[in-house]
Amino acid sequence: EQVDEQIVERGAFLEVVRAGPLSAADEQQQDLNQRMAATFRTIAAVPLVIREKVYGSMLFYYRAANAYGGDQVDIGLAFAQQAALAIENSQLRDEATQRLVELERRQRVAEGLRDLLTVVNSNHDLDEILAEVLAQSSRLLGNDASIVYLRESETSDIMRARAWLGVDREDLAMEVRIGSPTTGLAVQQGRTLVCEDLAAALSEQLQHASETQVLDDVSFARIVRMGAQTDPDLERGEPGPRVRRLVGRFRAVAATPLIARGRVFGAIALYYAQPRKFSAEEVDLARTFAEQAALAIENAWLLAEVQQRMRENERRRRVAEGMRDLLASVNSTRSLDEVLDLVLAQASGLLGSDAGSVLLLDDREGQQRVLTMRASRSLVAEIMPTRLPVGTAITGVAVERGRPVAVSDLLEAAPVPGQRQPLLEERPGYLKMLRIGDPPPDSPSRVREIARYYRAILTVPIGVRGRIQGAITLYYRLPREFSPDEIGLAQVFGDQTALAAENARLHAQTVRHSRDLEALYRADEALYRSLHMDQVLQALVDVATDVLEADMCSVLVWDERHERLIPGATRGFHADVVAQMSHAVGEGITTRVAMSGEPIAVEDALNDPRVAHRITDGEGIRSLLHVPIKVNGEVFGVFGVNYREPRRLAGEEERVLLALAHRAAVAIENALLYAESERRLHELEALYRADETLHSSLRLNDVLRSLVEVARDVLSADRTSVHVWDPQSHQLVVAAANGYSPESIFFPLSAREELVIEDLIGANVVVIEDAPNDPHLASLRLSEIVKREGIQSAMAAPIIVSGQAFGVFGVAFCTQHSPTLDEQRVVQALAQRAGLAIHNARLFEQAQQVATAEERQRLARELHDAVTQTLFSASLIAEVVPRLWERNPQEARQRLEELRRLTRGALAEMRTLLLELRPAALVETPFPQLLRQLAEATASRSSLRIEVRADSDERRLPAEVQIGLYRIAQEALNNTVKHAAASRAELQFRRRGGRANLQIEDDGRGFDETRTPPGHLGLSIMRERARAIGAQLRVESHEGSGTRIHVRWRGALL
């Protein structure tokens, strides 16, 4: 209405006659109008219309008032019409140009999509495809930068930048949370989101993603407000919010989710340097790019999955082949070292490790278990410990826990001083070590040194039947994570390694047992080959040296007297060292073994204070093992092997050595028993010889001389002597000696001056081992004898006769000698036997004296009864014959004949008595002659006529046989004279080769043997004499028919 009041119709045009009200909304335009009105009085506005389309207006300004009208109207309309036509033509041209541009753009889009589709359907990898997507979007959508974010998994709420273009990494948000504007929110909502001006949309008050303000459009949504910092946990350590840094370079953004088969797995974000409006067509094109990118990503993932499956199949094939080869190797006869090398080679090929090692538990370390390097491959050995306590380092922890342990980056897991326990994180199938423990050997410096070569480590324990045997450790030069499949495959290698170790252990055990049995068989064969102690001990050290491959071996036996160990047998030692191998209690390892009865192994003899360094240093011994030899529960000695190189001892060597020691104990016990029996036998033989020798004579001087001779032979002594007590001088004088010089024999010993004699009083045996320095021999006489005779050791025992000291029996040696108890016992036994022999000799002397007196009395009786009576009768006849010759010559002749008979009988009696006085004559006289003398002597003192029939064989009978036969004949004739009342007797003697027959026969009254007592008529005496010479005696007699005695002797051919 106000406009109508201002305008007046003027025909062909309208005239504004009155100004309208001021517009408060357009003050600037009002000011412009006021200035124009001040210059121009008339303004004409002509519309630009062509074909009923108004394009605008054309203004005409006049300085004069009422200047427009008439022709100016027509002219203005003409100009306006021409201008409208020009504008229409220009717009038509622009529209044609725009359509051409659009056609070109669509052609470029089609070509770009075609190229993109070609790349998508090619065999390019995902990174190449994403780079092409970003390049095409920048060319077709004109964005200045672009980023592709991908989710790690469908359940992950974090997306990571996978590809980018036109932006530096330091300005890039590498991680974006799902729901965080703009890209994360687009993924969460599953639609395209745009922000046309980031600077205008940022709000410092809005801090959370849920507070983002969004305006929906037809096919997308616009963000009008969002927080400057929506993911503070992802922006730690950054100087400011990432959005602020983006706004410094980019003002607009469009984020389109990557969707394939209903699954949102990322987004593509397009950034523009200037604010801009996003058309639906641009959003659709961006969505098309996103779809192609999603398709490309899905195809790449599918290809990667196929390739992964192919690689997995190939890997499994390789694993199967590797396991087949490994299993064949494990079950083969290869050594453990060869199998372990193959395991590490297979691990390198199938698990991609750059190096590897196998450490096995050393059970010989005692309480602290230690892992020892057994095998390695491509390992930088100088930085790795060869021995590792269980529970330390990565490998030790895996063995202690019995589970696989992995370190993804050794530098990040380096130990922190003071943090002694490792920091472990539970992962599926293994433990991830986030921090290595601080105790040695894992010091930070050592870990950093290892990290120079290896950044990732995987350790798998190896065990069988629940028993951990060690670990296999794989090393990688670059940091990495380990998949469950890799952990599982590594465990398979661990299991196969454990099986190989167990098989090798069982095989080694079998071989070891076989070798041990062979060694023990050899030991048994060698040990039981001899029963002599020195040979048994030498066989023991020889077998041990060969079986245990020792450099030296020894058996030290316990010397009870000196209370020290002395060499029993050695091998490999130098003679001067053997001379020093005598250990007192508490000295060296050997006496510790002897005292404790337990084995002792020394692996570092150079630094062990327990060893006898004079032995080990002299022989260069580095390692040794000594075990006790026990016989009947008591330590007999110490058996040891020694090595010049360092060696681990205490397992197999100790077991074999103990087995040898056990067998040696049995052999030694047998040798001891044999030696004891030999000693006993030797003693018995010695004592038998002594008895035989000492009792071979009953003369005192012979007994003492036999004693010193036997003692020297039995005891292998150099000097022997017997000193007897002289009561007149109160000294001991030499009664017998053997081996001494004449000068020493004449030295008497005074009991008051010699200490050794005082020691002998009340003692059994006195032993002197060091004669030149013994104080008991310090007197001038004894020291001079010791020096002159070169005596080094001696023994002495008292000789006791009938409870009284008779003398001293002494044995001396010219070399250093430690008399044994057996030798002492022999000396004592010889002294006792000497005392008995001396007592017997004394009794014999006394018996001889008594026998001599009795024999003298018997001879006196014989002389009185036989010869004296005969001579007296002959004397009477001789006195009577002269007178009788004068009276009666015939009777005188008879008396002379009787005188002749009596004198001849007396002569025969005297010869017989002389034979009795000189026994040797009984042996020297031929036996037939003895019989004739016996017959003549018997007949001379009786009225018995005796006839002798004997061969004239001059061969002598054995002395004991001749005497025996003579005594039998003598006893028989005496019995005939006394009891038979015979008038005639006959003696017959025959020799036939090696036989002799004697027969005595008379014509007396005879007797009945069944009624005659055994001891009557001297029969028992004759039988005993016959048995003594090995002859047979037979008596034939009957009452009234005389007696016949037969003696038959059979000996060797004479």
Give the tens place of pLDDT for each residue, 924-958.
Answer: 888 888 888 888 888 877 778 899 999 877 778 88
Band of residue 365 on the pLDDT scale cut at 50, 70, 90:
very low
**Beta strand ranges found along 305-353 (DSSP E):** none
163-172, 254-263, 289-298: lowest mean pLDDT where? 289-298
The residue ranking higher by pLDDT, 1046 or 244, is: 1046
642 shares a domain with 624: yes
Residue 826 belongs to some domain of the structure: yes
Burial class (CB in 10 A: 0-12, 13-18, 19+), 450: buried
State the pLDDT at residue 916.
63
State the pLDDT at residue 756.
57
CB 950 within 8 A of CB 928: yes
667 shares a domain with 551: yes
Residue 301 belongs to some domain of the structure: yes
Q: Which of 973, 967, 862 is nearest to 909 (CA)?
A: 862
Q: Rounded CA gap, 290 and 916, in Å? A: 159
Q: Rounded CA gap, 734 and 639, in Å? A: 49
- DSSP-assigned beta bridge partners for residue 564: 559, 584
DSSP H or E segment with residue 638: strand 634-643
222 shares a domain with 295: yes
The three-class DSSP label of residue 566 is: strand
- Phi, psi angles (nearest 5°) of residue 665: -60, -45
Indicate the residue type of 167: V
pLDDT value at 523 more than 60: yes
Give the tens place of pLDDT for each residue, 223-236.
Answer: 988 876 556 556 55
Q: Rounded CA gap, 971 and 960, in Å? A: 16
- Counting the structural domains of the chain, the total is 6
pLDDT value at 67 more than 70: no
Residue 111 belongs to some domain of the structure: no
717 shares a domain with 613: no
The three-class DSSP label of residue 169 is: helix
State the pLDDT at residue 235.
58
Q: What share of the chain in percent tops pLDDT 70?
A: 84
Q: What average pLDDT does range 1001-1007 have in this prediction? A: 91
Mean pLDDT for the chain overall: 80
The residue ranking higher by pLDDT, 618 or 1047, is: 1047
Q: What average pLDDT does range 362-387 have in this prediction? A: 76
Separation in Å, CA 1040 to CA 493, 979, 1013? 124, 13, 18
CB 1043 within 8 A of CB 1001: yes
- Report the 3 state secondary structure along 640-688: EEEECCCCCCCCHHHHHHHHHHHHHHHHHHHHHHHHHHHHHHHHHHHHH
State the pLDDT at residue 432.
92
Residue 571 belongs to some domain of the structure: yes
Query: Quick one: residue 542, left, alpha or beta (phi over 0 = left, psi -120 to 50 = alpha)?
Result: alpha
CB 255 within 8 A of CB 193: yes
State the pLDDT at residue 146.
93
State the pLDDT at residue 1044.
93
State the pLDDT at residue 813.
92
Q: Rounded CA gap, 184 and 267, in Å? A: 8
654 shares a domain with 686: no
210 shares a domain with 345: no
177 shares a domain with 46: no
618 shares a domain with 573: yes
Residue 878 belongs to some domain of the structure: no
State the pLDDT at residue 1053.
41
pLDDT value at 642 more than 80: yes
822 shares a domain with 702: yes
Domain boundary among 823, 846, 869: 846
Q: Rounded CA gap, 122 and 128, in Å? A: 10
336-340, 355-359, 933-937: lowest mean pLDDT where? 336-340
State the pLDDT at residue 164.
92
Q: Which of 320, 356, 358 is nearest to 336 (CA)?
A: 358
| Most confident residue range from 87-96, 892-901, 983-992, 1001-1010 | 983-992
Residue 330 belongs to some domain of the structure: no
- Tell me, yes or no, if the pTM score tops 0.85: no
Residues 6+ apart with CB under 8 A from 697: 703, 706, 841
Residue 166 belongs to some domain of the structure: yes
490 shares a domain with 462: yes
841 shares a domain with 775: yes
pLDDT value at 1 more than 50: no
Full residue range of the structural domain in which residue 18 is found = 2-92
Indicate the residue type of 938: T
The residue ranking higher by pLDDT, 935 or 124, is: 935
616 shares a domain with 735: no
Which CATH number belongs to the domain containing residue 586 in this structure? 3.30.450.40
State the pLDDT at residue 918.
57
27-41, 484-498, 786-800, 1027-1041: lowest mean pLDDT where? 27-41
Residue 322 belongs to some domain of the structure: no
Residues 6+ apart with CB under 8 A from 790: 814
pLDDT value at 157 more than 80: yes
Domain boundary among 647, 674, 701: 674
* Most distant CA atoms of the chain, gap in Å: 266
- Tell me the helix, strand and coil percentages in the chain, rounded to 5: 50, 25, 25
The residue ranking higher by pLDDT, 234 or 449, is: 449
CB 269 within 8 A of CB 144: no
Domain boundary among 457, 481, 511: 511
